Structure 1
Amino acid sequence: MSWELTSDVERFASVAGAFLRSSPVQNTVFLTLIDNLRSRGLHAYGVEDPFFGWWRRPDGEVAGVLLQTPPHPVLFSALPAEAVPAAASVLADRRVSGVNMADGDIAAFADDRKYVPGMRTRLHRLGTLTPPDPAPSGFARPATEADSDLLIGWLRDFYEFIGEPRSDVPAVVDDHLAHSGITLWIDEGAPVSMAVRSRPSAGMIRILYVWTPPALRRRGYAGGATTAATQAALDEGAGEVVLYTDLDNPTSNALYHRLGYRPVEDRAMVIFS
């Protein structure tokens, strides 16, 4: 039993692909990141090279994976218990600013290292889509290139709001427009909310970002946009539609539950001091 590391995304996809596709809901972020690194280049998330890893059982089967796009925390799949401290050992010589992993694995990975707790998230999968009742005023439409300036501003605001500002927002917007992956909610002739979804991967689509400007909140627009984006994912043939929520945001957790999303697992991010 051991970890193997590589900087080759194609080798990682080849070795770990079957493991990831066997649980596409739980591995949604890995599948999306692989697609983005292939389509947008290895430096889509930063100037440093990403690296990847997998944990093999004694029979040679892959039973866990990791991925880092520096400077972001190392992302881990669900892991066998013995793979958690082993991961800390194999990464000891690398600059690891933090980790994102199953909530219950944090203590075993950190051991006696000091860390600052970061965002705790909950993965949800769609059960039965239940549109908001009453429906918000307005209607949904796909965003187009004519909306680019608005979308760039809103996505920058979103990243600032979650404390993860990015410099590549125009490229992110262009990428999602290229697959018609941004849904706008329109009211009184103007966009008031957006929901962004991933490309299909292993039969799964993820709702990535939902944003309503602060001055336009509490009118149901986010529910309308999310419902429309979810329906668009189903219309594209997604067998699973998933999303993450911030566990410290009871408003969004309650909204997505009303729309038909149900909890799957909780994750935690920590930053090492």
Structure 2
Amino acid sequence: MRPDDWHLTDDVDEFLARAGDFLRSRPGRHVMQLTWAERVRKRGAHAFGPGSPVFGALERAGKVEATFYRLPSRGYGLSPLTPEQADSLAARLAALGHPVPSVSADQGTVTAFAEAWQRHTGVTPRPRDIRLRLYRLGTLTPPEPPPAGRSRVLGEGDLDEAMFWCGEFAKAVGEDVTLDAGTWAESRFADKRYTLWETPDGTAVSVAGMNPLIGGQIQVDIVYTPADVRGRGYAAAVTAEVSRAALAAGATDVVLFADRSNPTSNALYQRLGYRTLDDWGSCDFPDGD
């Protein structure tokens, strides 16, 4: 294949017209492409900082075979690529002089692109320590019995509570974000619906969120329980509630990410019926900015 087979655009509507069917054909493995393209479509490119987004599709004989996206101030998100596809993309970006600060994708794709980028540019890749596992829901199996309490969906009047829980989650996973009334609407947390698990006295003890329905799929994101109340089944209960709500909303695929280094959360999701789809990785290129 030729590097010229990659078609680049800063127009998200053009990208989705070209690649939308391809992305929706495997929504689980394309969850990040679908999610971020939809956010750009709804919010506009200006919402993601100065500069224009870049989208790309590898197309041969009228058929899309792979995609990528890059938003301003962010790295590249890649669909699954073969080594040959990764090499052609690296060659295309290098020839255009496009910087590549980082990539994220399934682990095989990250490895293939990192090797290709080093060949074409001489830049040494630096893998990140964060390793994720992408799960897709099979048959939902809620915990029996559930812990005492009930679920509560946060509504438009619960913004302060949503910001608090998302802020606690962000601190726990090391995300450097500021969430307040002025920054919330442009954050990645704003387009989710959140559910709390509350004890019988009304104390909130766990939260789970879910993204909008995109391409027949819903991503469960975020899931968080404070350290002092873990191990009591709250995360399982609230994740089951959100997963059930996703199915009720019409999702044919329900997916979520988990930290591979956390055996507790991985075991929890598997008990609920989630099955491994891909291992996920990220890689920085120190000279790519």
Provide TM-score, normalisation by structure 2: 0.87
Instruction: Read off the aligned partner of 2:238 and give its amino acid letter.
Output: A
Q: Distance in 2 between matches of 1:107 and 1:51?
A: 22
Structure 2 residue runs of 5 or longer lacking an equivalent are: none
Report deviation, 1:82.
1.3
Determine which of 224, 245, 270 is the counterpart of 2:283. 270
Q: Distance in 1 between matches of 2:247 and 2:33?
A: 21
1:224 counterpart residue number: 237
2:101 counterpart residue number: 97
Q: Distance in 2 between matches of 1:190 and 1:166?
A: 26
Report deviation, 1:250.
1.4
1:204 counterpart residue number: 217
Q: Distance in 1 between matches of 2:101 and 2:16?
A: 24
Report deviation, 1:42.
1.5
Determine which of 111, 114, 124 is the counterpart of 1:110. 114
Report deviation, 1:95.
2.3
Q: Distance in 1 between matches of 2:113 and 2:41?
A: 29
Instruction: Read off the aligned partner of 2:127 and give its amino acid letter.
Output: P
2:198 counterpart residue number: 186
Instruction: Read off the aligned partner of 2:230 and give its amino acid letter.
Output: R
Q: Deviations over 1:30-57 (max 9, x none)?
A: 1111221122221444333211001112
Report deviation, 1:101.
2.0
Report deviation, 1:71.
2.1
Report deviation, 1:259.
0.5
Q: Distance in 1 between matches of 2:87 and 2:141?
A: 42
| Aligned partner of residue 82 in structure 1, secondary structure | helix
Report deviation, 1:210.
0.7
Q: Is the 8 A contact 1:64 1:79 kept in 2?
A: yes
| Aligned partner of residue 175 in structure 1, secondary structure | coil
Quick check: 1:243 aligned with 2:246? Answer: no
Work out the percentage of aligned pairs sharing the same amino acid.
40
2:184 counterpart residue number: 170
1:125 counterpart residue number: 136
Provide TM-score, normalisation by structure 1: 0.91
Instruction: Read off the aligned partner of 2:126 and give its amino acid letter.
Output: V
Over 3 Å counting, the alpha-carbon distance change for 1:161 and 1:271 in structure 2 is farther
Q: Is the 8 A contact 1:121 1:266 kept in 2?
A: yes
Determine which of 47, 50, 56 is the counterpart of 1:47. 50
Structure 1 residue runs of 5 or longer lacking an equivalent are: none
Q: Greater shift after overlay, 79-88 or 235-244? A: 79-88
2:149 counterpart residue number: 138
Aligned-residue Cα RMSD (Å) equals 1.8
Q: Distance in 1 between matches of 2:105 and 2:170?
A: 21
Q: Distance in 2 between matches of 1:129 and 1:50?
A: 37
| Aligned partner of residue 125 in structure 1, secondary structure | strand
Determine which of 23, 28, 35 is the counterpart of 2:26. 23
Report deviation, 1:19.
0.6
1:87 counterpart residue number: 89
Report deviation, 1:174.
4.5
Q: Is the 8 A contact 2:82 2:109 kept in 1?
A: no
Q: Is the 8 A contact 1:183 1:196 kept in 2?
A: yes
Q: Deviations over 1:64-106 (max 9, x none)?
A: 0000113222000012331101111222212221101221233
Q: Greater shift after overlay, 47-56 or 14-23? A: 47-56
Matches for 1:63-78 after TM superposition, within 5 Å: 63-78=65-80
Q: Deviations over 1:165-207 (max 9, x none)?
A: 234662245433xxxx211111121222111101111211110
Matches for 1:7-18 after TM superposition, within 5 Å: 7-18=10-21
Q: Is the 8 A contact 1:63 1:80 kept in 2?
A: no
Instruction: Read off the aligned partner of 1:170 and give its amino acid letter.
Output: W
Determine which of 147, 150, 162 is the counterpart of 1:151. 162
Report deviation, 1:61.
0.8
